[in-house]
């Protein structure tokens, strides 16, 4: 595919391209911040802050490509989107593991979280890709994806992550409950984008009338969740215990 369009040009009113552009900038700025702050971080938290920077950095690189792709083709960069998520969401699982490790988190817990996130994302991808044709499988795969999502919510709010965070001391418990809100409310932004993007021909077809753009919703979700998550971890790394 040759891209002949002048990709430096964003039409006024192209809010989708604009949110890709601003998302890229925000992710880059956050990465620089987290990477530089690793040096000022206590040893015990260095890896956690580094992982925060990796999450925003991976997103920044993907946003750079997604922005160009969407301007050049006018389409959703579904493939890059899911590659980004497949790398960054497991890293968010690593964050949960790292903060609960000192309270005895086992590697099996990390694998549970990662497996659930991979199921959530791969099925979501199938739902969207199949949706390209006639949306026929969007409901089925979206539902499977949501089950995996709720399993993650369960682990963080009531399961092992929650229990370990509670025994790791008040600072970790507080950070875990903040991260839990990101997972419950911040991550719930994504299914809204999915519903908007796959509505045609579905029982939720009326959703399309809301005029929501899937990519704009995903871009807002990413900015909130990736940068917000990182800041919670950063804040934890600055607390006394």
Nearest approach, Cβ of 150 to ligand RET (angstroms)? 8
Nearest approach, Cβ of 4 to ligand RET (angstroms)? 31
Nearest approach, Cβ of 187 to ligand RET (angstroms)? 4
Nearest approach, Cβ of 173 to ligand RET (angstroms)? 22
Residue 228's nearest CA partner among 51, 89, 52 is 52
Nearer to ligand RET, 191 or 201 (CB): 191
DSSP 159: S
**How many angstroms separate the CA atoms of 237 and 47, rounded?**
10
Nearer to ligand RET, 77 or 142 (CB): 142
Nearer to ligand RET, 166 or 189 (CB): 189
Full DSSP string of 7-61: TT---TT-HHHHHHHHHHHHHHHHHHHHHHHHTTS-HHHHHHHHHHHHHHHHHHH
Q: Are 171 and 236 in contact (CB under 8 A)?
A: yes
Nearer to ligand RET, 169 or 191 (CB): 191
By the criterion CB under 6 A, which residues form the site for ligand RET?
85, 88-89, 120-121, 124, 127, 142, 145-146, 149, 187, 190-191, 194, 222, 225-226
Nearest approach, Cβ of 110 to ligand RET (angstroms)? 17
Q: What's the Cα-to-Cα distance from 152 to each of 25, 174, 216, rounded to whole Å?
A: 29, 18, 24
**How many angstroms separate the CA atoms of 241 and 239, rounded?**
6
Full DSSP string of 162-219: HHHHHHT-HHHHHHHHHHHHIIIIITTHHHHHHHHHH-TTSTTGGGGGG---HHHHHH
Nearer to ligand RET, 21 or 229 (CB): 229
Nearest approach, Cβ of 127 to ligand RET (angstroms)? 6
Q: 3-state class of 118 per DSSP?
A: helix
Nearest approach, Cβ of 222 to ligand RET (angstroms)? 5
Q: Report the residue number whose CB is nearest to ligand RET.
A: 124
Query: Which helix (H) or strand (E) is 136 found in, with range?
Result: none
Q: Are 17 and 215 in contact (CB under 8 A)?
A: no
Return phi, psi of residue 157, to 5°. -90, -30
Nearer to ligand RET, 72 or 189 (CB): 189
Nearer to ligand RET, 85 or 234 (CB): 85
């Amino acid at each position: 595919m040759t891209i002949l369009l002048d990709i430096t040009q964003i039409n006024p009113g192209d809010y989708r391209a604009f949110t890709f552009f601003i998302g890229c900038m925000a992710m880059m700025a956050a990465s620089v911040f987290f990477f530089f702050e690793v040096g000022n971080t206590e040893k015990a938290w260095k890896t956690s802050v580094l992982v925060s920077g990796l999450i925003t950095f991976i997103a920044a690189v993907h946003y750079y490509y997604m922005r160009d792709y969407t301007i050049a083709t006018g389409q959703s960069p579904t493939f890059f989107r899911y590659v980004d998520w497949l790398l960054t969401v497991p890293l968010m699982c690593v964050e949960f593991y790292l903060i609960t490790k000192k309270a005895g988190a086992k590697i099996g817990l990390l694998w549970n979280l990662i497996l659930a996130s991979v199921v959530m994302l791969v099925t979501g991808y199938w739902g969207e890709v199949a949706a390209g044709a006639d949306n026929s499988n969007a409901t089925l795969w979206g539902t499977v994806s949501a089950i995996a999502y709720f399993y993650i919510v369960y682990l963080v709010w009531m399961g092992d992550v929650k229990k370990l965070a509670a025994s790791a001391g008040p600072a970790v418990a507080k950070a875990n409950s903040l991260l839990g809100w990101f997972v419950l409310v911040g991550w719930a932004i994504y299914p809204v984008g999915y519903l908007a993007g796959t509505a045609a021909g579905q029982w939720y077809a009326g959703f399309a009338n809301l005029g929501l753009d899937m990519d704009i919703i995903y871009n807002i979700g990413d900015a909130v969740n990736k940068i917000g998550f990182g800041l919670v971890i950063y804040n934890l790394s600055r607390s006394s215990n």
